[in-house]
Structure formats: C-alpha cells, structure tokens
C-alpha cells in the first residue's frame, strides 16, 4: 500500500529538528508534512510522535480538529469548490452537483482512476469571481456547469 | 540594503527615494500599475504583467511597470492604472499589453476600448471619477494598488516606517497609547473594543515577556479585507506591530495567518526578510534606539473558531483551537501565560498613519462613537463587487447603489448581511441608516470583520440562514453545550422548514434557542451564531410563515417546496421530460400536452433542465 511506503524525507527531518526546540511547533510541523505528502500518512505521524516526543493521541487530536489537515490521500488533481457565501449565492452548490455528475464520485472521494478528488472549501477570497473553483492551486472564476467539463479536460492525463 | 539602518540613514534613504521619484516624474516617466491581488492574479493578471514588461522593453518606453496589491474593483479585473494620467483600464487581457504600451505609453492616446467609461476616452482623467471610487476614502488601503508590496523601498518612499521613527524617538510608550486612545480607533475584527484600552491593559502588567499577535485568521466566508491588506501592504502591519510592541513593552510578535492565503504568506515572508536585513526587525537597537523586536509567522489550519482570541492563542501554542473562559483576558494572561495584545490586521493597518498624522486627524473621520473608515468586501448580488473602504457613518444605500452600482439583472434588493455568520440580515427599511458599531448592533447585526453580502429577491432567507448555521455547526469546537447542541437544533429546524415540514411552534422554539445560545455560550462564535436566525425571525417572519403555513418558498429556492408545472401553451408533446423523469410522474402521449402528477413528483428538476421550450415552469 502506498500509505506504508511514505517515509520521512531528509528535508522534513531537518525541518523538524529546526522547529523542535520552539514552543508550539506541532501545527507548523504538520503543515510541512501535508505540504510534502499531500496528506497525513499514518507512518509519518507515528514517526513524528517519536521525534517530537508528543503523544500520538495529541497529534491526532490536533489533526482532526483542523479542517485543513487531511487523513486521506487526495487524487492526482485536487479540485476545491468554494462554498463561501458569495459563491453559494451565485450557484456554488450547483457546481458541486455538476462536478459530482461529471466525475461520478461525491465530495471527499477520489475517482477510481485516481485522477480527481473534490473538496468543499470556505471562501478563497475571490468573491468578485464567484462561483470559483480551484484545481491544483489554479483559480477558475465565474464557472458554470457548461464550462466545467472543458476545465476538467485540461487536467486529464492524455 | 546591506547595512543596519539608523534613524538618520532611514531619513536619508527616504529623501533620496522621494527625490528620485520626483526626478522620474519630471523626466516624463509614466507608471503602469497592474493589480496583483489574488482575484486579478488568477484571472490572467500574471501573464498580463509579463506581457506588459516585454512590450515596454521592446518599445524602449520610459515607463515603470509595478505589480501592486488589490485595487478593489475585482468585478472588472484585471485592472491596469496609468499614472500620471490616471487612466483606469478594466477587463484587461494579456493580449492587450502591446496596445497599452504602444498606443498609450508611447503614442500618448488612451486605448478607448479598455476604459471603464468609454465615453470619457477624450477626457483622460478618470481614475478618481468613476463611481466605484467616488465615495471611498482609503486609509487602511492607502498603499494597496499604489506601491509594489515586495519592495521595502517603495514602502519607505511612501512614508513607511515614519510612524515607527516617531514612536521610538519622539514619544513615550504612554504617549503612544494616549494617541491611540484619543484617535478613537476600535478593533476591526468584529467586537469593536477600543484598541488603546487593550494596549493600556497589557502595558500595566509587569512581566518578563510580552507578546503582540496579529490576527490574520480571516475565516468569515465572503470576506477578504485582511488578505488584500496583507498582500498589498505587508510592511504596514510589521510597522504597526513594532509600534504596539514599543507601547506595551513587548519584544516579540506573531502573525497568525490562514494557510489558505499563500500569496499573503509569501509577501509577508518577503517583507519580514527585508525588514530584518535592514535592521528594522530581529535585532536590538532598532534604528539606533534601545528597542528590540522580532516577528514570526504561524499558520492557521482552517478553523473559524480560531478567530476568537483565546482559541487563536491555543492554536499558536500548537493545540486544538478551543476557547477558554475570560477573564483572565489575553492582555493580562495570554500566550504561554504572558500578557498578549491581539489586534486584527485592519486595526493594525490604521496605527502607523494615526501616529504620523495624529489622533485629531483620525478622529475627525467617522461618527461620534465609531472613528475612521471600514473596509468591506462587497459581494453577492451587486453589479460592482470588490473591496471598498468607506468612512464610518456612510449608509448602506450609498454602498450598495452608488459604489456597488445596484442589483444586477433588474432584480430587487432584498437584504444585506454584515458580519458574516455572526451578523444578521438587514432589510430594505434600514438602507438609509448610517453604519457604525452602535447602529448595526441596534438592528441585530454587527459591523463584523467586513463581509457585506447583498441578496436579491431570488435568494431565500430561510436558505441563507440555513447556510450560515451549516457553517457554524461545522465550525463549532464542541466545547460548550449551548453552541454545540443549540446550533444543531436550529439547523435541524431550518432544514425541516425548508422541506415543508415546519410547524408554527417552531418559530417560538427557535427564538428560545437563539436567546439561550446568545446568553450561555462560552465564546463569540456561539454567542453570535444565532444572529442570522434572530434577524430572519425579526424581519422576514412572513417568508418563514410562507414556508410553514403555505408550504411555499416565495424565492423559489427551497427545492422541496417548489412545484413544477407544464405550461400547456408551450408544450408540444416531445416526450423529453417524461423520458428523463426518474419517478414516472409525467404523463402524456407524443404530440399531446403533458402534465405532472404532483403526488409522484420528487422535485429533482430534471424535466425543468431538459425542456428546450421552457414549457416547464416553477410555481
């Protein structure tokens, strides 16, 4: 399983050493873990508990408290649908439904081919462009269910 | 900058930069300001900037191309502004770069097709004349859209770090606090607590270590004031935190920023590195004084409750962001038990200019109890959505109709929501009320952090209240009972009402829950989470009653209450609708009028979307 093969990279290890003496380091270290792997691999979290000398329960307590941290590996392309107020009023929930129809899987699930996963986010701060979706960090504004398939095609592996 | 600045060398640098800018202007140099805020950036702004650079280089034009922070007019982005002619270009595409450089910069004639108001093509002078900016007053956003946020020299040339100089060499810590008290500045994060008082509390405590924390955890969905300020003018926040440190005796600062704001984080990191290199941060004897200060970033991780002071501190300490009872207030006992002043980004953005221009100037703006300006993220059903800064005391009508340009598609204004999930909907009868902390509280909303969402008659109030409750239920930390259970109970009731299963008794029940949550919750999130529901019951009871009594959604938004009907005048009997209907509710033969059996209809809307002749209507 891919999850088991995730090991601490040397960069990550150096980052942890650098932050270890600083109080309140846990969340910053977790951010770095997610940046490296795209989610929180269990193997890595186990090792983290050792390195930071912090109980595993405390680490998972923090991971599960915050929406930003993910326990499941996302798809190769991560689609974030903004459901902030402005996007919601301008049909963000319809975009969510259209995506579900287009991909065949619901929110927080990876498509069977591992290409896409969708998540709902609260306000990306591009309210002037509502409704907005973000794919791998690239922002698409004023999206409609008609323009959606074209946008997705840009990210599909040929 | 390789050597550590002193007061004298900073003054000399500022004078040199100002003189250079003046010489450039006299030499006929023009400036192309390209908006580099997230919205414009993601809408082709990055490519546009590159193309403009290339075109200018090719044409060997005497022009400086500056990537600035947010100019506010996000609806029509990417925005390009030309100085000194003050020409304002909207909806600019990367392929327009050559035209702007060749026709305008070199040829001296504005590109008419890109102007905001094309009829003014000849006038040339229109930057400040366009309605969107006419009623705005930019203090917090004074540098946004003006300077390059990634250059400390640009900031210094625009009076940057002048406030810090004054605070370090011409004022006592008590004097600084008095100035902020006199200015009447109140916290812009939502609660509106006087900023000077907060500083005073912290200054009065004896401690070996004190902290200044900047709250940049902007979690209100539909608000992006703080992000734009940080992206457009990061040094202003650093300077303000240093001044706050001088006033209270703190030597260390943290900026707690949302991890969802990568551009703001990047610009802050650049600004901190530049300030450290210049000897303005991270060392003793700043500018040759006896003052020591340093600032570090800490990332939030997507928890709305962390906007609450005590929860925010818990998060910086690396814990779950759960609030604790106050007192003790953080100003007395905060981060790691030490006195900590927590100020919002927008609050801090006012500080340096209050110190340089004085409390008297600042307090001349605004109303009797609310001084200065407020930045709003104007979004929703409004023609010109974007980031605006207006003096306190302006009316909603001026914001929505004069600045915002009114409601698009000829629809009717229904309500405006300030304060996001912690505020209430404001009905049309209060459009002419001056906005300040007290007046909004009186009508059941709050100024809040600055989200201002406009709704039209196609938006259902029950649906909007449900949307906000879904948010607060999701974001409730679960520590205290009124918020955890009350929020869920409200959401369940609203869901039933939106499905046509509401009862008249629900109205009183919701009122009771709202009052209990408001009085008994531990922190601001729970205390205000019921505000959207209270406002709904106060101003839109008729609409709620229509859902309960008539099983009808007047806005046509609540799917379960919608009735689909076939207009016999338009139906040609193509059978498309009956074929897609998953419930077999549509009957009718080929080339005959069809009809929907309401008892079988599951209201999925498939027929409505399929019919090409628009024969299916929502009743």
- DSSP letter string, B117-165: SGGGTTT---TTTSHHHHT---STTTTTTTS-TT-HHHHHHTTTTHHHH
8 Å CB contact between B241 and B253: yes
CB neighbourhood size of B172 (10 A)? 11
A51 min Cα distance to partner chain B (Å)? 16
Residue numbers in B near A83 (CB within 8 A): 221
Round the average pLDDT of chain B to a whole number and report it: 93
Chain B residues 299-318 with CB within 8 Å of chain A: 299-304, 315-318
pLDDT at B600: 87
CATH topology of domain B152-363: Rossmann fold (3.40.50)
C-alpha span between A101 and A94 (Å, rounded):
11
- For the stretch B190-199, pLDDT in tens is 789 999 999 9
Q: Is the pLDDT of residue B406 over 70?
A: yes
- Which candidate from B299, B455, B471 shows the least CB-CB separation from A122? B471
Q: State the nearest Cα–Cα gap between B403 and chain A, in angstroms.
A: 14
Which of B224, B315, B464 comes nearest A27 by C-beta? B315
Residue B414 CB contacts under 8 Å (≥ 6 apart), including other chains: B427, B428, B455, B456, B457, B459, B461
Rounded to the nearest angstrom, the minimum Cα separation between A54 and chain B is: 11
Cβ within 8 Å, pair A89-B260: no
Average pLDDT of B169-196?
95
B393 preceded by a cis bond (ω within 30 of 0):
no
Domain ranges of chain A: 2-65, 77-153
Nearest CA in chain A to B300: A27
Name which of A28, A67, A85, A131 to mutate to probe chain B: the one with the most chain B Cβ atoms within 10 A of its Cβ: A85
Class of the CATH domain delimited by B373-456: alpha beta
- Mean pLDDT computed over A66-71: 93
Size of interface A-B (CB pairs under 8 A): 127
Which residue reads 């069809």 in tokens? B594
Partners of residue A61 in chain B, C-beta under 8 Å: 320
Euclidean distance between CA atoms A113 and B70, whole angstroms:
39
Helix or strand (DSSP H, E) at B89? strand B87-89
How remote is the C-alpha of B255 from its chain's centroid?
18
**Would you put residue B341 in left (φ > 0), alpha (ψ -120 to 50) or beta?**
beta
CATH entry 3.20.20.70 includes domain B563-618:
no
Residues 53 through 112 of chain B touching chain A, CB cutoff 8 Å: 74-75, 77
Q: Are strands B595-596 and B586-587 parallel, antiparallel or unpaired?
A: antiparallel
Name the more confident of B185 and A91: B185
pLDDT (tens digit per residue) in B509-518: 999 999 999 9
A interface with B, Cβ–Cβ < 8 A, is 23-28, 30-31, 61-62, 65-69, 83-86, 88-90, 121-130, 137-139, 141
Q: Are B418 and B447 in contact (CB under 8 A)?
A: yes
Mean pLDDT of chain A: 89
Please tell me which residue, B480 or B219, carries the higher pLDDT value.
B480
Assigned architecture for domain B461-548: Up-down Bundle (1.20)
SS3 B21: helix
**Six token digits for residue A40:** 């929180």
- A31:B299 CB<8 A: yes
Sequence-distant (≥ 6) Cβ neighbours of residue B222 within 8 angstroms? A84, A85, A86, A123, A127, B377, B379, B380, B420, B451, B453
B342 vs B323: CA distance, rounded Å: 14
Encoded tokens for B455: 């709704």
Residue count of chain B = 619
Residue B128 has pLDDT above 70, yes or no: no
Please tell me the least confidently modeled range out of B52-56, B125-129, B360-364, B544-548: B125-129
B221–chain A nearest CA distance, Å:
5
Window B:439-458, CB contacts with A under 8 Å:
451, 453, 455
The total of other beta-carbon atoms located within 10 Å of residue B314's CB is: 22
Residue A122's pLDDT is what?
83
How far apart, in Å, are the Cα atoms of B192 and each of B449, B489, B518?
10, 30, 18
pLDDT at position B502 over 70: yes
What number is the average pLDDT over the span B166-188? 97
Domain with CATH 1.20.1440.230 in chain B: 461-548
d(CA B31, CA B29): 7
- pLDDT at residue B619 above 80? no
pLDDT of res. B614: 87
Q: Give which of B39, B132, B230, B453 to mutate to test A binding, by max A Cβ within 10 Å.
A: B39
Cβ contact, residue pair B318, A65, below 8 Å: no
Is residue A3 scored above 50 in pLDDT? Answer: no
pLDDT computed for residue B231 by the predictor: 94
**Separation in Å, CA of A55 to nearest CA in chain B:** 12
Range A97-113 average pLDDT: 90
Tell me, what's the pLDDT at B139? 96
| Cβ within 8 Å of A, B 457-476 | 459, 464, 467-468, 471
The verdict on a CB contact (< 8 Å) between B471 and A125 is: no
Task: Determine which of A128, A143, A151 to mutate to test the interface with B (most B C-beta atoms within 10 Å).
Answer: A128
Of A26, A122, A125, which is closest to B38 when you measure between CB atoms? A125
**B154 vs B156: CA distance, rounded Å:** 6
Are the Cβ atoms of B301 and A27 closer than 8 angstroms? yes
Architecture of domain A77-153: 3-Layer(aba) Sandwich (3.40)
User: What residues are paired with B186 via a beta bridge?
Assistant: B194
pLDDT attached to residue A1: 40
Does the distance separating the beta carbons of B77 and A27 come in below 8 Å? Answer: no
Chain B contact set for A136 (CB, 8 A): none
Residue B222 has pLDDT above 90, yes or no: no
Burial class (CB in 10 A: 0-12, 13-18, 19+), B82: buried
Q: Which residues from A are below 8 Å from B471, CB to CB? A: 122
Find, among B389, B147, B387, the residue nearest to B267 by Cα.
Answer: B147
Over residues B263-271, mean pLDDT: 95
Distance from CA of A126 to the nearest CA of B (A): 5
Looking at chain B, the whole-number percentage of residues with pLDDT higher than 90 is: 80
Arithmetic mean of pLDDT, A93-121? 90
Provide the 3-class DSSP secondary structure of residue A158. Answer: coil
What is the band of A129 on the pLDDT scale with cuts at 50, 70, 90? confident
Nearest CA in chain A to B76: A128
With beta carbons under 8 A apart, name residues in chain A contacting B75: 128
What superfamily would CATH give domain B21-129?
A: Glutaredoxin (3.40.30.10)
- Residue A158 confidence (pLDDT): 60
Q: Which residue, B129, B204, B214, B136, is CA-closest to B174? A: B204
Complex ipTM = 0.91
Å between B352 CA and nearest CA of chain A: 26
CB contact under 8 A, A122 and B221: yes
Under the banding of pLDDT at 50, 70 and 90, the label for residue B534 is very high
**Residue A4's pLDDT is what?**
46
Q: Say if the Cβ atoms of B39 and A126 lie within 8 Å.
A: yes
Instruction: Give CA–CA dist B20/B55, Å, rounded.
Output: 24
Structure tokens at B60: 């060997």
- Residue B75: closest CA among chain A residues belongs to which residue? A128
What pLDDT score does A2 carry? Answer: 43
Angle, CA of B8, B14 and B19, to the nearest 5°:
125
Residue B357 pLDDT class (50, 70, 90 cuts) = very high
Number of H helices, E strands in chain A: 8, 4
Residue B35: strand pairing partners: B68
Put simply, the answer to whether A62 touches B320 (Cβ < 8 Å) is: yes
Q: Name chain A contacts of B219, Cβ cutoff 8 Å.
A: 122-123
Interface contact flag, B318 A85, Cβ < 8 Å: no
Contact B490, B469 (CB under 8 A): yes
> What is the dihedral sign for C-alpha B592, B593, B594, B598?
negative
Residues of A within 8 A of B225 (CB-CB) are: none
SS (H, E, C) B537-577: HHHCHHHHHHHHCCCCCCCCCCHHHCCEEECCCCCCCCCHH
Q: Of the candidates B75, B298, B467, which has its C-beta nearest A28's C-beta? A: B298
Best B45, B221, B300 member to test A by mutation, with max A CBs in 10 Å, is B221
Q: Give the chain A residue whose CA is nearest to the CA of B404.
A: A128
Q: Is B422 on the interface with A (CB under 8 A)?
A: no
Nearest C-alpha in A relative to B226: A125
A83: distance to nearest CA of chain B, Å? 8
Q: For residue B375, is pLDDT > 60?
A: yes
């Amino acid at each position: 399983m891919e999850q088991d093969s995730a090991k601490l990279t040397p960069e990550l290890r150096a980052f942890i050493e650098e932050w270890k003496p600083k109080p309140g380091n846990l969340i910053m270290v977790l951010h770095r873990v997610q940046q490296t792997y795209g989610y929180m691999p269990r193997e890595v979290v186990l090792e983290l508990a050792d390195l930071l000398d912090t109980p595993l329960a405390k680490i998972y307590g923090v991971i599960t408290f915050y929406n930003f941290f993910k326990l499941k590996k996302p798809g190769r392309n991560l689609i974030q649908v903004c459901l902030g107020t402005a996007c919601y009023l301008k049909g963000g929930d319809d975009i969510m439904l259209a995506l579900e129809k287009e991909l065949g899987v619901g929110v927080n699930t990876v498509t069977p081919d591992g290409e896409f996963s969708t998540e709902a986010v609260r306000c990306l701060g591009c309210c002037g462009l509502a409704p907005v979706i973000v794919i791998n960090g690239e922002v698409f504004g004023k999206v409609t269910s008609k323009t959606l398939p074209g946008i997705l095609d840009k990210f599909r592996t040929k | 900058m390789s050597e550590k600045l002193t007061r004298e060398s900073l003054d000399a640098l500022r004078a040199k930069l100002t003189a250079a800018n003046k010489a450039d202007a006299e030499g006929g140099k023009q400036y192309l300001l390209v908006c580099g805020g997230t919205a414009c950036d993601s809408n082709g702004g990055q490519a546009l900037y590159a193309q403009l650079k290339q075109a200018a280089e090719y044409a060997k034009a005497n022009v400086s191309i500056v990537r600035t922070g947010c100019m506010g007019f996000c609806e029509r982005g990417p925005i390009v502004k030309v100085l000194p002619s003050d020409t304002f270009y909207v909806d600019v595409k990367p392929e327009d770069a050559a035209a702007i450089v060749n026709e305008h910069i070199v040829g001296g004639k504005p590109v008419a097709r890109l102007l905001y108001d094309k009829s003014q093509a000849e006038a040339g002078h229109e930057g400040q004349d366009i309605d969107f900016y006419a009623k705005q007053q930019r203090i917090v956003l004074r540098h946004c859209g003006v300077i390059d946020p990634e250059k400390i020299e640009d900031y210094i040339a625009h009076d940057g770090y002048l406030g810090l100089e004054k605070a370090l060499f011409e004022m006592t810590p008590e004097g600084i606090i008095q100035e902020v008290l006199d200015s009447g500045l109140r916290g812009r994060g939502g609660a509106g607590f006087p900023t000077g008082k907060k500083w005073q509390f912290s200054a009065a405590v004896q401690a070996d270590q004190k902290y200044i924390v900047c709250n940049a955890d902007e979690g209100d969905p539909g608000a992006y004031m703080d992000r734009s300020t940080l992206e457009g003018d990061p040094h202003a926040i650093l300077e303000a935190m240093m001044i706050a440190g001088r006033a209270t005796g703190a030597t260390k600062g943290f900026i707690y920023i949302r991890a969802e704001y990568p551009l703001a984080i990047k610009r802050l990191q650049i600004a901190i590195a530049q300030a450290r290199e210049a000897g303005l941060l991270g060392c003793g004897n700043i500018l040759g004084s006896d003052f020591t200060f340093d600032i570090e970033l800490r990332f939030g991780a997507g928890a709305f409750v962390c906007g609450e002071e005590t929860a925010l501190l818990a998060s910086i300490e690396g814990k779950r962001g759960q609030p604790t009872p106050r007192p003790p207030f953080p100003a007395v006992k905060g981060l790691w038990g030490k006195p900590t002043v927590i100020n919002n980004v927008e609050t801090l953005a006012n500080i340096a200019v209050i110190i340089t221009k004085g409390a008297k100037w600042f307090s001349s703006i605004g109303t009797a109890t609310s001084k200065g300006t407020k930045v709003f993220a104007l979004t929703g059903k409004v023609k010109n959505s974007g980031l605006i800064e207006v003096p306190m005391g302006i009316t909603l009508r001026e914001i929505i109709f004069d600045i915002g340009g009114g409601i698009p598609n000829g629809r009717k204004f229904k309500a405006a929501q300030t304060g996001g999930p912690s505020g209430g909907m404001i009905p049309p009868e209060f459009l002419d009320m001056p906005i300040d902390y007290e007046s909004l509280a009186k009508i059941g909303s709050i100024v809040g952090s600055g989200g201002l969402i406009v709704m039209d008659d196609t938006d259902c109030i029950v649906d909007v209240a449900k949307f906000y409750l879904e948010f607060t239920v999701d974001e409730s930390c679960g520590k205290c009972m009124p918020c955890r259970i009350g929020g869920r109970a409200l959401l369940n009731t609203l869901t039933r009402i939106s499905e046509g299963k509401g009862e008249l008794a629900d109205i009183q029940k919701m009122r009771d829950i709202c009052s209990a949550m408001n009085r008994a919750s531990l922190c601001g999130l729970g205390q205000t989470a019921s505000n959207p529901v209270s406002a709904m019951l106060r101003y839109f009871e008729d609409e709620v009653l229509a859902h309960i009594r008539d099983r009808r959604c007047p806005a046509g938004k609540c799917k379960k209450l919608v009735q689909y009907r076939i207009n016999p005048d338009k139906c040609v009997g193509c059978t498309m609708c009956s074929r897609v209907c998953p419930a077999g509710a549509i009957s009718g033969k080929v080339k005959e009028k069809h009809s929907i059996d309401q008892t079988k209809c599951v209201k999925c809307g498939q027929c409505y979307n399929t019919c090409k002749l628009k024969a299916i209507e929502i009743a």
